[in-house]
Amino acid sequence: MSRVLLIITLICHLSLVVCHSALAVNGVGSDPSLDLFSARQLGLGGLTVNFADDAGGVFANPAGLAELEFPQLTTSSRRLTLGETQYLLAGWALPTAWGTFGLGYSAAGAGGSLPTMLDPGTGRVIQDPSREAGSFSNSVIAFSYARTVPAPVKLAVGGNLKLFNQSLSGAGAADRGSGFGLDLGCTCQALPWLTAAAGLKNLIGGSVRWSGSEDTLGSAYRLGVAATILGGSREAFRTYPQKLTAGLEFDLPGGVLAANNSLLYHLGCEYFPLKNIALRAGLNQETAGTGLALGLGLVNGGFRFDYAFVQRPGLPGDNPHYFSLSYIGERVLTCEPKLKLKSAHLKFLFPYDRLITDKDIIPVRAEAWGDRVVDQKRIWTVTAVSATFDVVNQIVTEPLASVALGDKKLDQEGTIETTHSLKLGWNDVRLTAFTSPEIFAGRTYESKLGSAEARVLRIVPFTDTPMNYWAIEPIALMGVLGLVNGYPDNSFRPEKGITRAELVTLLVKSLALPQETLDSYASVEAFKDVPLHHWAAKYIACADAQKYVTGYPDGRFAPNKVLSRAEGATIMARYAKLAPAGGTKSFVDLKDGFWAAEFINAARQAGLLKYLEGKDFKPDNPFTRAEACEVLYRVPAVQSKVDQYWESGLISAGR
């Protein structure tokens, strides 16, 4: 009973320190880390979760430690309520390659408090002279860890493991209690200038076990946002030499900080009229009322001194002046710009490279501006710890001296929109520009040429292969390279099955053999049904010699026979010199042991059958002229010829 009376007496003092303390099931418990008597945060109206970017973030919001660049330390000490109650806060944080580690200590205690009793005559609370004065100490040590995590937005998470230690003495009673709690926090940079944060205190644990009972400490939940309204970087809503940041945070109902199940708010702003001076103001709502907060911060030599004047209705008779001292490190940026080079940024948005079109005039959209690449030396200094430097490239845009599309000079830059005429066949659409000459630091930088190009092929398509036909690209390029021809009526008949004679002719033409070599096969009668006067005789004889095709056992070639898809894929695999490939079937509709399965597997693995991805193979379907062009287009040897054409506009050395 004496222990309970002593706690009730001392809690009258501590409740003024931790204004939102709660009665536990078996006793009274308080967490001194929930109320942060840090002058910076108090001057901001009690903002914590979004303004935890120093060592005070160990208790305010451990996720705020993730972005620290230097080791930091912060301390705050107060005597409250007529000097009977003492409060101490200390935080230390160390950023490393594995995240930021922190250590915090927070304590509140009351000493020399006289016990009280009810006067039997008046019913009033009076001093109890029969009992000695009592003392109560309440401290917490926090071990923190925070780091950024991969996410679509900039996200940091952190946590605290807190160890509680409480003791009481006097009034004929003495006891000691201990326990643990877990805090979690996160910050999310939703926009470059807007940050959201959350802090969950005593999410797990949060109790103190005494020798004969247990005190629960409860939990506290806070959400908030902060906006960098003005600033000199891209992370500000509006660019301005001076920095202004504002925040709004809420204590959610149900936690210790939201006593009486009410929603409490904290509103504040921080303004830097000069680099080393911060002015702060805010409104701090507590259960007992809302108080005005004003603050001042001074930074020098890596140290920050903070002062706050805070009206706290929950602390009657308290001196409203608060002071904190923090080591935040110092970063001195020494700029020694040096012009490294000047260049032109040129990029086609349309046409894209290797465009095929049937238009004689095409729209042109492009980007064109000048770049100045400047070397900047940055010196980083951590007061009393170390100094280092690095050199970074800064790219600054500037106007160009001139821009031309082909031989036409343009009066546009930045985003260019114009038109360009095309000749039939291969076109090199070229954008050129010159940078402006400049004298920098006594050195002359002459104009420099920059260029960008887009190769465009203008064709007259066959009447039955419009520009949106699925195989228009391989058909167009096989035609340009002279490998396939249309019919006299300017049709291509892409869905017509290709014959054995037509396919081997296509393959032999793609070899680009010397004419005398090809003519040497004109006198070779390879198959009895392909006489020497047959239009494809020399091509069939050459293909037979190259082992691309074979005849039938009776000595026939059957030149007019339309190939099946299985036969076409087999011939193409042999032409590409692909080794037969076993293993899992490439297509589900192929039967086990199918005669051409190994060649079909090889063709698919080599990327020759991309047009059939996600479809059945249908081996008995006719192998069409369009399919033959598509598969041949994917063969590496033919792709090399296609690349050569796009690069130079030449089909061969002589064409």
Domain that holds residue 417: 338-458
Which two three-digit tokens encode residue 145?
Answer: 């860890």
pLDDT averages per 10-residue partition of the chain, 655 residues: 42 40 42 80 91 88 88 81 70 90 88 65 66 76 93 90 85 78 92 92 80 80 93 82 93 59 88 92 88 91 88 70 83 67 89 95 93 75 59 80 90 89 95 85 75 95 95 95 91 95 91 87 90 92 86 90 94 91 86 92 94 94 96 93 92 55
Residue 533 forms part of a structural domain: yes
Helix axes 472-480, 636-648, angle to 10 degrees: 70
Q: Are residues 323 and 343 located together in one domain of the fold?
A: no
93: domain CATH number is: 2.40.160.60
Q: Are residues 303 and 351 located together in one domain of the fold?
A: no
Number of domains in the chain: 3
CA proximity to 497, closest of 559, 560, 563? 563
* Residue that terminates a domain, selected from 458, 488, 515: 458
Helices (H) and strands (E) in the chain, counts: 11, 32
Q: Are residues 409 and 489 located together in one domain of the fold?
A: no
Q: Are residues 510 and 603 located together in one domain of the fold?
A: yes
3-class DSSP state of 591: coil
* Res 88: pLDDT: 86
Residue 332 forms part of a structural domain: no
Tell me, what DSSP letter sits at residue 436? P
Q: Are residues 128 and 152 located together in one domain of the fold?
A: yes
Residue 249 forms part of a structural domain: yes
Give per-residue pLDDT as tens, 579-604. Answer: 988 877 889 999 988 999 999 999 99
* Res 109: pLDDT: 78
* Res 216: pLDDT: 79
Is this prediction's pTM over 0.75? no
Residue 333 forms part of a structural domain: no
Residue 268 forms part of a structural domain: yes
Determine contact, residues 107/351, Cβ cutoff 8 Å: no
Measured CA to CA, the distance from residue 610 to residue 81 in angstroms comes to 81
Residue 494 forms part of a structural domain: yes
* Res 286: pLDDT: 84
* Res 328: pLDDT: 80
Per DSSP, what are the bridge partners of residue 285? Answer: 290
Measured CA to CA, the distance from residue 526 to residue 149 in angstroms comes to 70
Residue 465 forms part of a structural domain: no
* Res 316: pLDDT: 60
Which two three-digit tokens encode residue 243?
Answer: 């920095």
349: domain CATH number is: 2.60.40
Q: Are residues 137 and 278 located together in one domain of the fold?
A: yes
Q: Are residues 201 and 273 located together in one domain of the fold?
A: yes
Calculate the average pLDDT of the chain: 84
Q: Are residues 298 and 379 located together in one domain of the fold?
A: no
CA distances (Å), origin 511, targets 215, 515, 539, 542, 603: 89, 11, 11, 11, 19
| φ, ψ at 256 (rounded to 5°) | -60, -40
Residue 655 forms part of a structural domain: no
Q: Are residues 528 and 612 located together in one domain of the fold?
A: yes
